[in-house]
Amino acid sequence: MKKGLGKYVLIRLVGAVPLLLVVAVIVFVLLQYAPGDPAELMLGMDATPENVAQMRVKMGLDKPLHVQLLRFLAGLLRGDLGTSWQSGRPVAEEIGRTLPVTAYVSFVAIVISSVVGVLVGVLSAVRQYSLVDNIVRVVVLAGVSMPVFWLGLMLIVVFSGFLGVLPSSGWGTPKHLVLPAVTLATYPLAMITRLTRSSMLEVIRQDYVRTARAKGLSMRAVIVHHALQNAFIPVVTVIGIQFGVLLAGAVLTESVFAIPGIGRLTVAAVFARDYPVIRASVVLTAAIFVLINLLVDISYTYLDPRIRYDN
Amino acid sequence: MSELPGRTQPLLEIENLHVEYRTLDGIVKAVNGLNLRIDEGKALGLVGETGAGKTTTALAVMKLVPTPPGVITAGSVRIAGREILPLGDAEMQHLRGNQVSMIFQNPMASLNPVHDVGSQIAEVIRLHQGVSPREARVRAAGMLRAVGIPENRAGDFPHEFSGGMKQRVMIAIALACRPRLLIADEPTTALDVTIQAQVIDLIKSLKRDYSGAQLLITHDLGLVAEMCDDVAVMYAGRVVEKADIAELFQNPRHPYTLGLFGSLPNLKKSVHRLRSIGGLSPDPKMLPRGCPFHPRCAERMDVCTERTPSESVVGAGHTVCCWKYSESGGTR
Ligand SMILES: Nc1ncnc2c1ncn2[C@@H]1O[C@H](COP(=O)(O)OP(=O)(O)OP(=O)(O)O)[C@@H](O)[C@H]1O
Ligand SMILES: [Mg+2]
């Protein structure tokens, strides 16, 4: 590990706590403006006012707002996310059930899109304006502009409908992973390819690449040993952001493929005004972005010696 | 020119070299029929205004003209008697960094920011000398010492060095395999004056130990006087006059050279820069008909606007491209 990195990580993590509390306050306040009374929604149309009042007490909604907020924040600090109003189970348990599913698909998707995206981006840059490059650019454009749910549906039509080789929905076997992972990988793949290409084009114009050529290195060796690492530096940021977006829960994709992930959990919670689950998943998303940003910054110290955190 | 007995062999011979950049705004004729020759063990200074095609000429010798847009359209480049323009990639890679090395104009950006300097020197040694990585690092450290940088800085990265030190590292890379020809493209212009002197002294001292022949590209006549045996003056992609330095400084002939030197060129006078002369250098996308210098020339004759002069010999090893000195007197 690099010098001073441990201390830096610690400072960043401690510094994230106030940020997450601010996020928690904001989501709490915003939910107050959501239309509909959660207690009424929970009980259905024919609940009596007495039932509703009882329910409000049970949910803690009878307390003044600031008390509710402080309870929520105190719970967060203790690591207690509360109880889902809808299922009656601890929120932590709900998240523990759904997050691994989302994390698994997202991880597979980001690995596919990073590996393929960097390879294709480099190839496209090295052969700028060739047939390969032109095809790549068209496909990338399609990839960034295609609606994800539509792509998911098309994949289902082709691979489950016509070919019948892959299941159209559900979760459990490796086969269930393929279509959702491909669907989720498409947008990040297009972004990573595009950025790698432009970053590589920029790097191969640099003087140090000419120096490397003047040493007698082949173009391939120059790309691998000199250009790649430099070109990769901006790409890491985008990989991080895209991974964060995937982890936050791909609502549409999870719905199309009926995957029990955190995206679906959150959407169901929104419809049911299940505030504890909504709040927890928003704060969790913020925490995920904080962590990913930190990982990106740490990886910079390995990619770019000009960046150091030991002072 | 016939080979005199005892005269050394030419290490670099360029004949009728043409290089152009095919850009969207037109064809830039950067080098137009250039002739040049450097003998074994000699240093030649290539001087000329900005845009004259000096860097392009050097890149053509390395076969590193950026393509696209650059194309070497005609000519011959021989290194130690071997024609290099038809050579393939693999053969050129064997020559580069090994037989011919180049120090570039901008030392600030010429080193890879993500690798330490020791490994950037070791890389060229491993590539051409087939030694183990360990041995290459040892030799790289030796090269660092040779250019006046403590060995223990081999693990440092380029951003931890000053501009002058980066240029020293570039020199170490260029000389690591003891090339027969070293090309230095304005090796000191990006550096401040005190550092310039140090780098010049370094190149001079290393010339004895390391390099056979040198092609030194510069704007600085003082530098040429100090470091070179011969001078070639370049204008609009051609060499318009060349001679050994004593001859050229005492006896400049081409109107352009005369303009550059001012009225009384003096070898003893310390550093003097090229004088700027009236008028602009021609646009390489639209070179004038005839002698490219004629629009700025005070001694212009009718023939100058019509036909391009060829080389005339005006003294021992002294040639000029100017109708004034043409034997046929421009009437051919
Ligand atoms: N990559 C390129 N694309 C298009 N034109 C170029 C390119 N490189 C150089 N040129 C043009 O070719 C001509 C010769 O350039 P070159 O760099 O060889 O000049 P130079 O004598 O080295 O000048 P300087 O003293 O400024 O370094 C100039 O007109 C320049 O604008
Ligand atoms: Mg130049």
pLDDT tens digits, one per residue of B216-258: 998 888 888 888 999 999 999 999 999 999 888 888 888 888 8
Query: Which pTM does this prediction carry?
Result: 0.84
Which of A51-60, B56-65, B254-263 has the lowest average pLDDT? B254-263
Q: How far apart are the C-alpha atoms of B53 and B44, rounded to whole Å?
A: 16
Place of tokens 């323009």: B85
Note whether B257 and B241 are within 8 A (CB).
yes
- Which residues are within 8 A (CB) of A217 and not within 5 positions of it... i.e. 6 or more apart? A225, A226, B93, B123, B127
CA of A302 vs chain B CAs: smallest distance (Å): 9
| pLDDT band with cut points at 50, 70 and 90 for residue B262 | low
Compare B332 and B246 and report the one with higher pLDDT. Answer: B246
Q: What pLDDT shows up at residue A218?
A: 94
Question: Is residue B284 lining ligand 1, measured as CB closer than 6 Å?
Answer: yes
Mean pLDDT of A132-137: 94
Q: How far apart are the C-alpha atoms of A249 and B231, rounded to whole Å?
A: 70
Q: What pLDDT shows up at residue B257?
A: 87
| pLDDT band with cut points at 50, 70 and 90 for residue B1 | very low
Compare B327 and B281 and report the one with higher pLDDT. Answer: B281
Q: How far apart are the C-alpha atoms of B221 and B231, rounded to whole Å?
A: 9
Q: What pLDDT shows up at residue A53?
A: 87
Q: Is the pLDDT of residue A234 over 80?
A: yes
Q: What pLDDT shows up at residue B84?
A: 93
Q: How far apart are the C-alpha atoms of B206 and B216, rounded to whole Å?
A: 14
Of A206, A215, A219, the CB nearest to B96: A215
| pLDDT band with cut points at 50, 70 and 90 for residue B328 | low
Of B111, B128, B159, the CB nearest to A216: B128
Q: What pLDDT shows up at residue B330?
A: 43
Q: How far apart are the C-alpha atoms of A133 and A124, rounded to whole Å?
A: 4
Question: What's the mean per-residue pLDDT of chain B?
Answer: 85
Of B114, B116, B123, the CB nearest to A230: B114
**How many CA atoms lie less than 13 Å away from A88 in the CB half-sphere?**
3
CB contact under 8 A, B123 and A306: no
CA of B220 vs chain A CAs: smallest distance (Å): 23
| pLDDT band with cut points at 50, 70 and 90 for residue B8 | low
| pLDDT band with cut points at 50, 70 and 90 for residue B2 | very low
Q: How far apart are the C-alpha atoms of A89 and A277, rounded to whole Å?
A: 10
Q: Where are the domains of chain A?
A: 100-303
| pLDDT band with cut points at 50, 70 and 90 for residue B263 | very low
Q: What pLDDT shows up at residue A1?
A: 66
Other residues' Cβ atoms within 10 Å of the Cβ of residue A308: 14
Give me ligand 1 centre to Cα B51, in Å: 5
Q: What pLDDT shows up at residue B264?
A: 44
B-chain residues near A127 (CB < 8 A): none
Q: Residue B68: is the preceding peptide bond cis (ω within 30°)?
A: yes
Instruction: Enter the DSSP assignment of B276.
Output: P
Residue range A100-303, CATH number: 1.10.3720.10
- Alpha-carbon Rg for chain A, nearest whole angstrom, is 24
Mean pLDDT of A181-191: 94
Mean pLDDT of B306-329: 82
CA of B68 vs chain A CAs: smallest distance (Å): 11
Give the C-alpha distances (Å, rounded to integers) separating B128 from A97, B96, B122, B162, B285: 59, 9, 10, 28, 40
Question: Is residue B28 lining ligand 1, measured as CB closer than 6 Å?
Answer: yes
Note whether B232 and B36 are within 8 A (CB).
yes
Question: Is residue B67 lining ligand 1, measured as CB closer than 6 Å?
Answer: no
Note whether A200 and A125 are within 8 A (CB).
yes
Q: How far apart are the C-alpha atoms of B308 and B306, rounded to whole Å?
A: 7
Q: Which helix (H) or strand (E) holds B47?
A: strand B43-47
Burial degree of B322 (CB within 10 A; 0-12, 13-18, 19+)? buried
User: What are the helix (H) ranges across chain B?
Assistant: 54-62, 89-95, 117-129, 133-146, 163-175, 193-209, 221-227, 245-250, 255-261
Do the strands B43-47 and B70-79 form a parallel or antiparallel pair, or are they unpaired? unpaired
Note whether B173 and B126 are within 8 A (CB).
no
Q: Is the pLDDT of residue B278 over 90?
A: no
Of A208, A214, A230, the CB nearest to B62: A214
ipTM of the complex: 0.85
Q: Is A175 at the interface with chain B, CB within 8 A?
A: no
Q: Is A138 at the interface with chain B, CB within 8 A?
A: no
List pLDDT tens digits, range A135-178: 999 999 999 999 988 999 999 999 998 998 898 888 888 889 99
Place of tokens 């960097």: A118
- Which residues are within 8 A (CB) of B22 and not within 5 positions of it... i.e. 6 or more apart? B28, B68, B69, B70, B71
**From A128, which residue of chain B is nearest by alpha-carbon distance?**
B68
Q: How far apart are the C-alpha atoms of B166 and B189, rounded to whole Å?
A: 13
Nearest CA to ligand 1 atom 28: B51
Of A297, A188, A309, A164, the closest CA to residue A238 belongs to A188
What residues have their beta carbon closer than 5 A to ion ligand 2? Answer: B 55
Note whether A260 and A171 are within 8 A (CB).
yes
- Alpha-carbon Rg for chain B, nearest whole angstrom, is 20
- Looking at residue A289, its amino acid is F
| pLDDT band with cut points at 50, 70 and 90 for residue A311 | low
Q: What pLDDT shows up at residue B274?
A: 54
B-chain residues near A212 (CB < 8 A): 112
Of B122, B60, B68, the closest CA to residue B92 belongs to B60
Mean pLDDT of A59-70: 88
B-chain residues near A304 (CB < 8 A): 113-114
The encoded tokens of residue A44 equal: 């259905």
**From A301, which residue of chain B is nearest by alpha-carbon distance?**
B114
Question: Is residue B189 lining ligand 1, measured as CB closer than 6 Å?
Answer: no
% pLDDT > 90, chain A: 67
- C-alpha B55: how far from its chain's center? 7
Question: Is residue B55 lining ligand 1, measured as CB closer than 6 Å?
Answer: yes
User: What are the helix (H) ranges across chain A?
Assistant: 5-32, 38-43, 49-59, 65-78, 91-126, 131-145, 148-155, 174-203, 207-214, 219-222, 228-247, 251-256, 262-271, 275-303
Which of A204-218, B165-179, B299-313 has the lowest average pLDDT? B299-313
Burial degree of B270 (CB within 10 A; 0-12, 13-18, 19+)? exposed
Which of A18-27, A78-87, B131-140, B268-277 has the lowest average pLDDT? B268-277
Compare A161 and B298 and report the one with higher pLDDT. Answer: A161
Q: Is A220 at the interface with chain B, CB within 8 A?
A: no
- Looking at residue B308, its amino acid is T
Of B239, B172, B326, B265, the closest CA to residue B38 belongs to B239
Mean pLDDT of A242-265: 89
List pLDDT tens digits, range B118-167: 999 999 999 999 899 999 999 999 999 888 899 999 999 999 998 888 98
| pLDDT band with cut points at 50, 70 and 90 for residue B280 | confident
Q: Is the pLDDT of residue A26 over 90?
A: yes
- Which residues are within 8 A (CB) of A276 and not within 5 positions of it... i.e. 6 or more apart? A81, A82, A83, A84, A85, A91
Give me ligand 1 centre to Cα B57, in Å: 10
Burial degree of A202 (CB within 10 A; 0-12, 13-18, 19+)? middle
Note whether B237 and B52 are within 8 A (CB).
yes
Pocket test for ligand 1, best of B50, B103, B234 (most atoms within 8 A of CB): B50
- Which residues are within 8 A (CB) of A89 and not within 5 positions of it... i.e. 6 or more apart? A83
Q: Is A137 at the interface with chain B, CB within 8 A?
A: no
Q: How far apart are the C-alpha atoms of B270 and B79, rounded to whole Å?
A: 34
